[in-house]
Chains A and B, each alone.
Chain A
């Protein structure tokens, strides 16, 4: 094993080792051991990942096996690494955000009795996510895929005594399993038709199957690649929370805020985006699948953004914003702008982690009250949190020269340049989404940090405790009357600042290499007729002209309009939102019910499955099989034996005689066969 291969191995194993030590012995070790063990491990993983990225950019790629997991049916199932530009980029993003979150956790979970358990989980998550992105084959991808799902499950339910938390984590796991269901079938199709689970082998052979048809339903033929890609994408829809499998993500906010930042914003939920980008050689072979991806992404981008407008829980605003931004990334995938998707994934990881951690800082200052209606005027008390939140919000809204502007504008331009079916609708969705995004993010900013101070009152006055989400209201302690919020400790604010820096600069620094400079090399494959980024690239003359051009383009003005509307409605005329809400009650209700997905799923799928289960059991097993067949047979035997009992004379020679006859009959029977 060469030195660099040892480094590849160390990167995931260090967090795993830390997680194992803290997880197994955490309760016996002093409290500080939890972060003293995990943070150096994750920091080392980050440092090594950065080293690997630099090495990769010098052209040192790697694709190799670590060990053979299983050999069966002529297939080798292996655990191995593919280190290229795409995976190295992801490794750096994952370990960086993870490190920030690890540090932040020291402050955020300071008083929590599950301190060491939490560190163990997030280190385990870092390991799982690294295995996912470093994989060189579909099986390990699925491993990492499910492993991050497991950690997500454990962390959403971290506060396991809360009914809402343990409802949310079960829901998250099951909805993700629906996605995995498609994903696994997709992997099965890949193995069957393309004959391997190894990326390199599959990608090189796939073009030969571009025109192959399969007939899954007799009478209708589908392109094999379309079927494979859509099945794989169903997995991405679960993990990356695309409509209609998005329902788990808002509820996942029941988990502690650091993991909302790490798992449910910056990294795990982007696994689906990463996966599709990784599979670009397959998706490029099916325009139908790309269109499907595009439409799903557009719906998610726009309709989830609407829901962000009416949320009053500070974390839920950010959660819906995450859904919407994941939609943007998916849209980019749909128009074959894979590198734009990864670029947005990266900038989003920074500014969304920042926004979540800032929201967490606010929540700490508010003594675990998350309701925006009871905040206001916090900028005076939380200056660092405020300033970093402004950076995050500007980046999210796509104001130049913040990072989000570059990545989002690139996606919008790419959609504009695309001609695949669905691109027209997608263009409308991403444009409208810009306004909505700017509106809800600044609504949140204004409600939390500006305006009059609404905290420190008794809680009876708040109206509209409408839905089940606030069952956990008993955990929202809130500030006592007269109590003032304080800025969070440095372990919390330092990560905010560290995340704010790339939220400003990552866009302008990396737009040129990542989108137009061949940064990803052969890791991402785009067919010439799909290559919208190439088309944009011909008009790209550096980040500054791009940003200046942005100032004259529609998306910028839409964002400004969004911010202005938020200012007008929530600072200038704060009585207006209530009026509007009562005027448009129907729309409000639809949004408040989240378009009815939750109640439908609860009734149709959860209720339906329980109903079917009960019926199959009570009717199928108990009545038909046991009642009729088994006990019926027993009754029949009982009746016959009542007759036959007369034969039981108790005389030995009767029995012997009967046995002889019986044996005779049996023998005759067998002789004849």
Chain B
């Protein structure tokens, strides 16, 4: 049964591990809890590996499918399956979960079991989102995964966590409800909740526009696209390090994935019709948000804005409707998962020592933390899109693709070369370089072994995919081709 249930295992192994952690959790003996959580996350990662090794790269359709009746009266199925878009994101999720568990190791002293369990369960639910092929199943995972995130921010978050959580909640709730309405409508039209059936469903343009808008509200908030992005900086600032990592590395990708899985293939004519506005919003994200990032005084806010700006490349790549752009968008998602995760971990390393995220409280960290600075500069360079790091690949592909659509799109997108470097390296200069800024910086201890391993693994990923990104595009290639072929066909009846 394990052969055919890889996806179920990928979802439920971390969830069960999370429940186990909760059950055995004991704040008196947090060591055991941590080890169980770590082993659970490793098991969770291992069960997802066959998705990579056994994935048929020539097949652009859904693989590893599983289907059971769930609520027969409404034709709702427990139907799982993945294509080349979902597999890299699932692997990113299970990988990030291990990182997050390790990152919270000694840092979290309060309610360790609940903390670890939240991330494990969240991991399973997010993999569920990426592998659900039934609308309602997707919706259930989609909503359920938010709950652990609310808890993570609400319980282990910073002083203003309640505001941040509510803002996050309201933003996402508003979007998700419209998506549910869209699903109900589609069910009404097709008597099915199968996503694949929706792909085949002819729809007039007016309806497609409505469907697209409903999905747009759900997904644009998640990415987040300008102007529905303001929840993200607040959520990041209040979230504990692990929360920020998952938020940036995976949750943001859910929005882009949603466009690829639902909004675009279900309403392809609307997607084409609205391509220009979507590109404009993406470019606003790239340029406007980069300027905003430049003005930030708080490291986490700066990286949060940087994330929004980088996600602009993803949506830009998707709505150019060419293979280079779309694959560039996917590569950008994966790469951003590593880089933004690493950047937030770096801030976490500093925050754990100094309890401040303000750039002005630092200066000359390199003098006391040389190894850490080497990592931080590497990730900063990756964030600034330096070739040889994964940060370059997606941006490069999307910019090249944008030239083919319209020179000026590429022109605006390419400003990230300057602006991205400006806000990232200016922060690096103020935090890491210079003479020792104050007595607290003078007492900083360099990375411990655990932190070294975490950042080292991420550095290998960032460099590895920078020097050889082919493994990602090999996975996505057939699916992107198939999707673009699908998108090129009108679904308007008549």
> Which one of B70-78, B270-278, B338-346, B398-406 is at the interface?
B398-406
- Chain B residue, CB-CB nearest to A149: B386
Contacts of B397 in A (CB 8 A): 70, 72-73
Cβ proximity bits B320-331 to A, threshold 8 Å, 1 near / 0 not:
001111011000
CA distance A185 to B402 in the complex (A): 10
Residues of B within 8 Å of A157, CB to CB, are 433
Contacts of B255 in A (CB 8 A): none
A166 touches B387 (CB 8 A): no
Is B207's beta carbon under 8 Å from chain A? yes
Any B CB within 8 A of the CB of A174: yes
> Are A150 and B386 interface neighbours, CB within 8 A?
yes
Within 8 A of B (CB), among A63-95: 67-75
Are B288 and A620 closer than 8 Å at their CB atoms? yes
A29 within 8 A of B: no
Q: What sequence of 0s and 1s flags, for each residue 144-156 of chain A, a beta carbon within 8 Å of any chain B beta carbon? A: 0111001001100
Within 8 A of B (CB), among A638-673: 666, 670-671, 673
B207 touches A72 (CB 8 A): no
| Other-chain residue from B364, B401, B470 in contact with A70 (beta carbon distance below 8 A) | B470
B35 contacts which chain A residues (CB < 8 A)?
none
Bound CA–CA A170/B293 (angstroms): 17
Question: Shortest CB–CB separation between residue B398 and chain A, in angstroms?
Answer: 10
A625 within 8 A of B: yes
Is the C-beta of B188 less than 8 angstroms from some C-beta in chain A? yes
B435 within 8 A of A: yes
State whether the Cβ of B55 lies closer than 8 Å to any Cβ in chain A: no
Chain A's closest residue to B227 (CB) is: A625
Contacts of A167-183 to chain B: CB distance below 8 A? 167, 170, 173-174, 177-178, 180-181
- For residue A143, CB closer than 8 A to chain B, the reply is yes
Q: Which residues in B have their C-beta under 8 angstroms from that of A74?
A: 323
Tell yes or no: B205 within 8 A of A by CB.
no
Per the bound structure, the CA–CA distance linking A177 and B296 in Å amounts to 21
> Are A621 and B292 in touch, CB under 8 angstroms?
yes
A209 within 8 A of B: no
Residue A142 interfacial (CB < 8 Å): yes
Distance (whole angstroms) from the CB of B379 to the closest CB of chain A: 13
- Given known pairs A71-B477, A180-B417, the reply for A616 and B288 (CB within 8 Å) is yes
B486 within 8 Å of A by Cβ?
no
Contacts of B422 in A (CB 8 A): 174, 609
Contact between chains at A73 and B327 (CB < 8 Å): yes
B421 interface contact, C-beta 8 A:
yes
**A613 touching B414, Cβ below 8 Å:** no
Given the known inter-chain contacts A71-B477, A143-B387, A170-B429, please indicate yes or no for A617 contacting B296, CB distance below 8 A: yes
Q: B434's contact among A145, A160, A670, by CB below 8 Å, is which?
A: A160
Is there contact, CB below 8 Å, between B421 and A185? no
B327 touches A184 (CB 8 A): no
Report the minimal beta-carbon distance from A238 to chain B, rounded to whole angstroms.
11
Point out the residues of chain A lying under 8 angstroms from B435, CB to CB: 161, 163
- Which one of A186-194, A261-269, A510-518, A596-604 is at the B interface? A186-194
Complex contacts, A626 vs chain B, CB 8 Å: 230
CB < 8 Å neighbour of B411 from A167, A185, A187:
A185
| Contact present for B469 and A673 (CB under 8 Å) | no
Asked if B407 is at the interface of the complex by the 8 Å CB criterion, the answer is: yes
Does B184 touch A at the CB level, under 8 Å? yes
> Which chain A residue lies CB-closest to B430?
A166
Chain A neighbourhood of B470, CB < 8 A? 68-71
A154–B396 Cα gap in the complex (Å)? Answer: 23
Tell yes or no: B101 within 8 A of A by CB: no
In the complex, chain B residues whose CB is within 8 Å of the CB of A629: 227
For residue B294, CB closer than 8 A to chain A, the reply is yes
Instruction: Please tell me if B291 contacts chain A, counting CB pairs below 8 Å.
Output: yes
Tell me the complex Cα distance, A161–B435, Å.
4
Chain B positions 445 through 475: 1 when the CB is less than 8 Å from some CB of chain A, otherwise 0: 0000000000000000000000111100100
Whether B421 lies near A613 (C-beta < 8 A) is no
Contact check, A184 vs B414: say whether CB atoms are below 8 A apart.
Answer: yes
Question: What 1/0 mask marks residues of chain B from 412 to 437 whose CB sits below 8 Å from any chain A CB?
Answer: 00110111011001100100111100
Is A610 an interface residue, CB under 8 A from the partner?
yes
A548 contacts partner chain B, Cβ-Cβ < 8 Å:
no
* A480 contact set on B, CB distance < 8 A: none
Is chain A's interface secondary structure helix, strand, loop, or mixed overall?
helix
Give the A interface residue count (CB, 8 A): 59
Is there contact, CB below 8 Å, between B418 and A73?
no
In contact, B403 and A191 (Cβ under 8 angstroms): yes
Q: Is residue B295 contacting chain A, with contact meaning CB distance below 8 A?
A: yes
| Interface presence of B366 (CB below 8 A) | yes
User: Quick one: which of B198-242 are within 8 Å of A by CB?
Assistant: 207, 210, 227, 229-230
Given A75-B324, A147-B387, A184-B417, the answer on whether A670 and B185 have CB atoms closer than 8 Å is yes
Which of A147, A216, A613, A666 has a CB less than 8 Å from the CB of B294? A613
Contact of A620 among B170, B292, B293, B411 (CB under 8 A): B292
Bound-complex Cα distance A75 to B470 (A): 12
B230 touches A185 (CB 8 A): no
Contact call B387/A142, Cβ cutoff below 8 A: yes
Q: Is B381 an interface residue (CB 8 A)?
A: yes
B388 at the interface (CB under 8 A from A): yes
B410 at the interface (CB under 8 A from A): yes
How many angstroms from the CA of A70 to the CA of B467 in the assembled complex?
10
Minimum Cβ distance to chain A for residue B206 (Å): 9
Residues of B within 8 A of A614 (CB): 295
Is A1 part of the binding interface, using a Cβ–Cβ cutoff of 8 Å? no
Structural contact, B433 and A160, CB atoms closer than 8 A: yes
B393 on the A face (CB < 8 A): yes
Query: Chain B residues with Cβ under 8 A from A191's Cβ?
Result: 400, 403
Q: Residue B167 at the A interface, CB < 8 A?
A: yes
Q: Which of A71, A145, A214, A618 contacts B473 (CB 8 A)?
A: A71
Q: State A177–B433 Cα separation when bound (angstroms).
A: 20
Q: B292 near A70 (CB under 8 angstroms)?
A: no
| Shortest distance from the beta carbon of B359 to any chain A beta carbon, whole Å | 13
- Across the interface, do B414 and A181 meet the contact criterion of CB distance under 8 Å? yes
Q: Is B367 an interface residue (CB 8 A)?
A: yes
Partner of A72 from the list B327, B386, B468 (CB cut-off 8 Å) is: B327
Residues on B with C-beta less than 8 A from A166 are 429, 433-434
Report the bound CA distance from A139 to B404 in whole Å. Answer: 17
Residues of B contacting A146 with CB < 8 Å? 386-388, 392
Within the complex, which residue of B227, B402, B432 is in contact with A188, where a contact is CB–CB below 8 Å? B402
Alpha-carbon distance A157/B415, docked complex (angstroms): 24
Taken together as a complex, chains A and B put the C-alpha atoms of A629 and B230 apart, in Å, by 10
**Interface pair B400/A187, CB less than 8 Å apart:** yes
Any chain B CB within 8 A of the CB of A612?
yes
A224 CB → nearest B CB, Å: 11
Question: Which residues of B have CB within 8 Å of A67?
Answer: 468
* Chain B window 289-312, contacts with chain A (Cβ cutoff 8 Å), 1 for yes, 0 for no: 001111110000000000000000
* Complex contacts, B417 vs chain A, CB 8 Å: 177, 180-181, 184
Enumerate A202-220 residues with CB–CB distance to B below 8 Å: 214, 216
The reply to whether B185 and A174 form a contact with Cβ atoms under 8 Å apart is no
Which chain B positions have C-beta within 8 A of A139?
396
- Taking CB atoms, residues of chain B closer than 8 Å to A173 are 421, 425
Q: Does A630 contact B (CB under 8 A)?
A: yes
Ordered by A's residue number, 10 sampled pairs between the chains whose C-beta atoms are within 8 Å are A72-B327, A73-B325, A147-B387, A153-B425, A173-B425, A174-B418, A180-B417, A185-B407, A189-B407, A670-B184
Q: Which 10 A-B pairs have the closest CB atoms?
A: A73-B324, A188-B403, A613-B295, A613-B294, A613-B291, A73-B323, A166-B433, A143-B387, A614-B295, A617-B292
Mark A residues whose CB is within 8 Å of B.
67-75, 139, 142-143, 145-147, 150, 153-154, 157, 160-161, 163, 166-167, 170, 173-174, 177-178, 180-181, 184-185, 187-189, 191-192, 214, 216, 609-610, 612-614, 616-618, 620-621, 625-626, 629-630, 634, 666, 670-671, 673
Residues of B participating in the A interface, judged by any CB pair closer than 8 Å = 167, 170-171, 184-185, 188, 207, 210, 227, 229-230, 288, 291-296, 322-325, 327-328, 364, 366-367, 377, 381, 386-388, 392-393, 396-397, 399-404, 407-408, 410-411, 414-415, 417-419, 421-422, 425-426, 429, 432-435, 467-470, 473, 477
